[in-house]
Amino acid sequence: MHMYMYLEAFPEELREYYRKLFGDEAEVLMEKLREPVEKYYIRVNTLKTSRSKLMQILRKEGLKPKRSPHLKEGIYFDREGPNFPDDFDPTLPIVRANKFAAESVYQGAMLYAPGVLQAHKKIRPGDEVQIRDPKGLLVGIGIARMSAKEMILSNRGIAVEVILPKFRLPSLSELQGFREGLFYAQSLPSMVTARVLEPSEEELVVDMAAAPGGKTSHIAQLMQNRGEIIALDKSKNRLRKMEEELKRLGVKNVRLIHMDSRKLPELELKADKILLDAPCTALGIRPKLWENKTPKDIEATAHYQRQFINAAIKSLRKDGILVYSTCTLSYEENEGNVKYMLKKGLKLEEQDIFIGSNGIGFNSVQRFYPHRHMTQGFFIAKLRKV
């Protein structure tokens, strides 16, 4: 056990919360949250290509794609690493990166100047350096491409070329196949979510918090670009990016609407199916070098989510299906809100694709755990309005 891991990474209240909820598994769960996923997934865009064709293309690029045993549109790559131990402490000069940049370097990205917080004043271009996060965790070793002063003052350019990251995931956004829209980088549980929704072209499908568009575009491909999907998001900026993403993927059956989806009933529609991938505390996202959220945040977020749930229930036709998902681990935001939906008269449905674990106190909801399933932490429930 690395003491650094627990003392620094999670607030004491959150560690306590995890221990109460997950018992003996809490420690290994927290350890796993610090690392990137072991299997890095992408979704084949079947509107444009097939899995075997895409695998051939990726192999030509020198990559080692593997078929998902669960989903025929899934491909994954094995993570490389850890490439050095946590206490690996050479006497190299230190460059400190902000949390976001450190998490990127940790998985194999370059360190760009805007991500640098501090740099040892003697650093010159060409020097070997170590990169650490703001709390001191070593995330990578690299070669300085700027002097210490330039690193601090520049607002663009590569500060450190990372030679040895702690872990390495494949870099795919530079590939021709990415530009052509042949795939979308998406986690396995996130792909399972659209599958659980089982959309079809005769149905009116609503995606309530849609940007950046991973699940929306997956729903579109399951509907073979037919029928209509209404996708809402309250951020204009995110919607604009989503529009570009849908264009790259060749998705044509999505109507984007700029609105806070808590106001969905104002559209006066009766949807056959609604996907609510609810805004959440994101406690399941990996890698998480550290976490600041506490049980108070969990409580507040669970209440906030109910406003979306209420809007979804109002906008669903009788007998319609609501799929509720989150990328968090808490009870209140997951099973707690399922209980709330059951009180509101919804009924739990079995899920066709079930590769996670049963929920806490429920058998037909699906939980993904980092340490059991080698995925993000994730939750999926499927309910019917009766």
Question: Which residues are identified as catalytic?
Answer: 327
- The greatest distance separating any two alpha carbons of the chain, rounded to the nearest whole angstrom, comes to 69
SS3 call for 22: helix
What DSSP state is assigned to residue 326?
E
- DSSP, collapsed to helix, strand or coil, labels residue 290 as coil
**Is the Cβ–Cβ distance between 117 and 134 less than 8 Å?**
yes
Query: How many angstroms separate the CA atoms of 301 and 185, rounded?
Result: 27
d(C-alpha 77, C-alpha 11), whole Å: 32
Pairwise CA distance, residues 80 & 78, whole Å: 6
| Cβ count near 89 (within 10 Å) | 11
How many of the other CB atoms lie within 10 Å of CB of 11? Answer: 14
Per-position DSSP letters for 302-333, written without gaps between them: HHHHHHHHHHHHHTEEEEEEEEEEES---STT
- How far CA 340 is from CA of 179, 267, 383, 384, in Å, comes to 43, 24, 12, 14
